[in-house]
Structure formats: structure tokens, C-alpha cells
Structure 1
Amino acid sequence: MVAWGFDPSACSSFCGCVGAGVISATVLCPLDVIKTRMQVYGLPSNLSSTAPPGFQHILKNEGLPGLYRGLSPTIVALFPTWAVTFSVYNHLKGLLHSQGDNTGELSVQANILAASCAGIATAIATNPLWVVKTRLQTQGMRTGVVPYTSIWSALRRIAEEEAGVTHVAIQLPVYENVKLYFAKRDNTTVDKLSPGKLAICSSGSKVAASIITYPHEVVRSKLQEQGRARHGAVHYTGVIDCIKQVYQKEGIPGFYRGCATNLLRTTPNAVITFTSYEMINRLMHQLLPH
């Protein structure tokens, strides 16, 4: 078994990488802001021939701080980025060494595998901070939107306004239980269910989760749209008030506006995703030694 023990050399490399990353991010942040805005909104009008696109516009309208939007989440992200990268990469190299030959050297393929897995783990761990960075860098161009005030403000609002935890909390347990039902009924195991049965399980769980949580999606969208407007009129004072107003004006159907269209889009996606996952997972179990 490979331990995750402390490695002074790795720690030194980690500190060096983070330090270099902080310096680099600080120096190049203005160019990163301009690059992100160009990616999202395209080229600004009235380009200057003596400055990068948008440089003078940002200085004029937002001042010097505008050129450093998104710097704080970039710096914060450096620590988990290198921590996850180094720990996962070194741990996987140790695992691959323990299962390889006695030469002490990993093959190119093994190094690529370890590095790829480390990259995937790092992307998953740090993606929320990169989303926040992009939002902070571009919010100066969205004048009608209430701005984020900090990293934590952005994370909290994104979690409250855009997260879909409730939906997944219903969909996955329903999916697993329907699979168990079919397996018991057919006197088999869940890993031997046919693709057709898996399609039924995935579509059924998606429809059930959508029907149960769609009223929440409607209320969230209404509050979210209201909250985004800087000077917009306040139509709802909160979740309860929004539910009352929607029910009084539209009744139960008001909570399911667009639900059929949503199901036409999301149900096939769920079928393809879950069925593909199950089949690929079975194939990998057959190919890889246990």
C-alpha cells in the first residue's frame, strides 16, 4: 500500500510553484482580464493602436482595480491546484511503481496516465474558483447586474442561485432503486441489466426528479432574475411570497411552465449519459485485471 507521507522535496517544489504562480498571476492579471473579456464579449469598439484592446476603456471606466479583477480567486486557486496536482500525481506514480517492474522507472504511458488523472482531479477541485474568477473579471461589463463583492459573495450567490443539489439528490437514489427493482424482478444483478432497462431507469429517474423539483426551478428563476437587476422593481420579497404570487396568478400550472420542453431536452441526455456510463464501466471491468 502506498502512503501519502510527507516529502520535503515535494513540499519545497510546491512552495516554489505557488510563489512563482502568485508573482506571475499578479504581473499578468491585466492581460488576463482583457483576454477573458474578449473571449466572452468580443472586441470592444474604438480600439487604441498603442494599448491592448480594452486597456484604456477599463482604466477610464473602472480605474486601476478594474485591471486586477479576479486576481484574488486566481491566487486562492493556486494552493489547491498545486496541492492536488502534486499529491495525486505522486501518489499515482507510487501506485504504478508498485505494480510495475523493478527498474525504478515509469514508462511514458504510465507518466501520461498519472499526469492526466492529476489534471482531472485538479480541474474538478478548482473549477468553482475559475468560474468565480471569470465572473469577477467580466462583471464590470454587465451594468444591469448586481455585482459580486468578494470571492465568498460570488460562491454563495452561485450556490444559491444556480446549484441543482436537490434535483440530483432525488434523481440518483431513484435511478439506483429502479435498477435494483428490475434486477430482483429478473433474478439477476444490476451490472447485468440490458441497455434497454438502463434507459428506462435513467429516463424514469430524470422525469421523476424533474417533476418534483421543477416548481423550485421556476421560483428560483424568478427570484434570480429579480436579483440580477440592479435597479429593477422588487416583485417578490422572498421564496414564500414568490410561491404565493405564482399560485394566486397562475395556479398549479404556473409552477410547471416550460416543464415539457425541459423534459424533451434533459431526458434523452440522461438516457445517453447514464447508459453510456454503465456500459463503459462494464467494459473497463472486463478489460482491466482485478
Structure 2
Amino acid sequence: MSPVFPFQFGKWFLLNLASGGAAGATSLCVVYPLDFARTRLGADIGKGPEERQFKGLFDCIFKIAKADGPRGLYQGFGVSVQGIIVYRASYFGCYDTIKGLLPNPKDTPFIVSFAIAQTVTVFSGILSYPFDTVRRRMMMQSGEAERQYKGTIDCFIKIYQHEGIQAFFRGAFSNVLRGTGGALVLVLYDRIKDFFHIDVSSGSSSE
């Protein structure tokens, strides 16, 4: 094997990882307060009407912002960025790389593309799930007077010490099942590109 190939492959793979991670981190900056409110409202619904903290989406955002300031709506943002970079980088990076290694990527049967996408989705979901666990823990203490965790690293350490490594993966199976739709999105995205003859690498479409 030519020594140039491993270098080119590594550069190509890292580029795929970086582009996927950058896209995920950028989108997260915009939607994070809404995701934060959704998580808090989801936990609040399980309580009785008289015990609920929030009346709705905007009430949640207003109360958290009033208690902790605007930065309260970004509680756990750092670990979320780390998690989404890991997820998106492996999600898009691995899929594009594996597809690119096939003899004829554009003629790959649908079932093969879906199998690759599903494998990548499961792998990415499990790999990034500990970050999601810590993200939710950090979100839940925003606006509270007493806080269990001092920061992201402290949260990681305390979960590991008091609950064990398995605590990072609670709910991971349901997340994997939900990821089936994500696998389908990857495959359909490829099919649409092929249908319109779009070459993403060159940013153009062929007539």
C-alpha cells in the first residue's frame, strides 16, 4: 500500500469529522435555550399541578432567566457542545468515510446504505450519550438555590463515584431506537443529492 494513501485517508476522515462537528456546534448555539426549556418542562410535567414550577415554554424561559440571568438558559452548554461535536462528527464523518470506501458509492443498494447509516447512528448515539446525561443533570439544577454539581467535570466525577459508569448510559437504548429516523435521514439525504446530481465537495450540481 502506498504511504500516501493512509495520509490522504486520515486527512479526509478528519475533515469529515470536523465539518460534521462544526455544523452541530453552530446549530446548538441557536436552539439551546429552547432545548433547555423542553428538558425542564418535560421533568415538570410529571409533577402535580400545584407542584409544577412552570406554566409553559415562555414562563420557563422567563423564570430561569430571572433567577440566574441569561446564562442560566445555557446551563450545561459546554458539555452539550462537546457531546454534539462527538455525535455529529462521528455521525456524518463515519458515514461519509465508510460510503466513500465502497467500490461505487453512488450505486450502493438502499438496504446497504441504511445498514451503514443505522450502524453509524447507534455508534454515535452510544459514544455521545454520557455527555447527554451530564447535560440533563446540569440543566435540571439551573434556577435552584442548592446545586449538586459545581460544574461539568464535577458532575462527571460525582455520577461516576456515586452511581457507577452505567449511570451515564441510562436511557441509551430508547435513544438508539429513536435514532432509526436519523439513519433514514442520512440515506434519504444521499438519495436526494444523487437525484439532483449534487456534488457537495465542489458545491455545484451537474446538468
TM-score interval w.r.t. the shorter chain? Answer: 0.5 to 0.7
Gapped regions of structure 1 (runs ≥ 5): 166-290
Q: How far has the Cα of 1:113 moved from its partner?
A: 0.6
Q: 1:41 to 1:141 in 2, by over 3 A?
A: farther
Q: Which residue does the alignment assign to 1:157? A: 158
Following superposition, the deviation at residue 76 of structure 1 comes to 0.9
SS of residue matched to 1:155: helix
Partners in 2 of 1:30 and 1:104 — Cα distance?
A: 39
Alignment pair present for 1:129 and 2:135: no
Give the corresponding residue for 1:65: 71
The answer to whether the Cα contact below 8 Å between 2:141 and 2:148 also exists between their aligned partners in 1 is yes
Paired residues of 1:18 and 1:79 also in contact (CA < 8 A): yes
Determine helix, strand or coil for the equivalent of 1:53: helix
User: Does the 8 Å contact 2:16/2:93 carry over to 1?
Assistant: no
Mapping of 1:68-147 within 5 angstroms? 68-90=74-96, 92-93=98-99, 97=102, 105-140=107-142, 146-147=147-148
- State the Cα deviation string for residues 203-252 of structure 1 (Å, max 9, x = none): xxxxxxxxxxxxxxxxxxxxxxxxxxxxxxxxxxxxxxxxxxxxxxxxxx
Letter in 1 for 2:90: V
Residue 92 of structure 1 deviates from its aligned partner by 4.1
1:124-166 CA deviation, whole Å, 9 max, x = no partner? Answer: 111000000000011136655x42122211111111111167x
Residue 22, structure 1, aligned to residue 30, structure 2? no
Q: 2:36 aligns with which of 20, 33, 51?
A: 33
Letter in 1 for 2:83: A
What is the CA–CA distance in structure 2 between the aligned matches of 1:16 and 1:59, rounded to whole Å? Answer: 32
Please state how far the C-alpha of 1:103 moved relative to its aligned partner. Answer: 8.3
**Higher gyration radius (CA):** 1
TM-score for both structures, normalised by structure 2: 0.63
Query: Hey, what's the Cα distance between the residues in 2 that align with 1:79 and 1:103?
Result: 25
Q: Which amino acid aligns with 2:115?
A: L
Give the total of aligned pairs. Answer: 157
The answer to which structure, 1 or 2, has the higher relative contact order (CA under 8 A, 6+ apart) is 2
Counterpart-to-counterpart distance in 2, 1:80 and 1:52: 30
Runs (4 or more) in structure 1 with deviation over 3 Å come to 10-17, 43-48, 90-95, 141-144
**Equivalent residue, structure 1, for 2:9:** 5
Could you tell me how far apart the structure 2 residues matched to 1:86 and 1:22 are?
Answer: 13
Asked if the contact 2:16/2:92 (under 8 Å) is kept, the reply is: no
Please say which of residues 55-64 and 18-27 is displaced more in the overlay: 18-27
Report the aligned-residue RMSD.
3.2
Instruction: Find the counterpart in structure 2 of residue 180 from structure 1.
Output: none
Following superposition, the deviation at residue 94 of structure 1 comes to 5.7
Given that 2:65 and 2:73 are in contact with CA atoms closer than 8 Å, whether structure 1 keeps it comes out as: yes
Secondary structure in 2 matching 1:89: helix
Tell me the amino acid that sits aligned with residue 29 of structure 1.
Y
1:7 Cα deviation from its structure 2 partner: 4.6
TM-score if structure 1 supplies the norm length?
Answer: 0.46
Distance, in Å, in 2 between the alignment partners of 1:47 and 1:63 is: 19
Give the percent of matched residue pairs that are identical in Structure 1 and Structure 2: 21
Deviation at 1:91?
A: 5.2
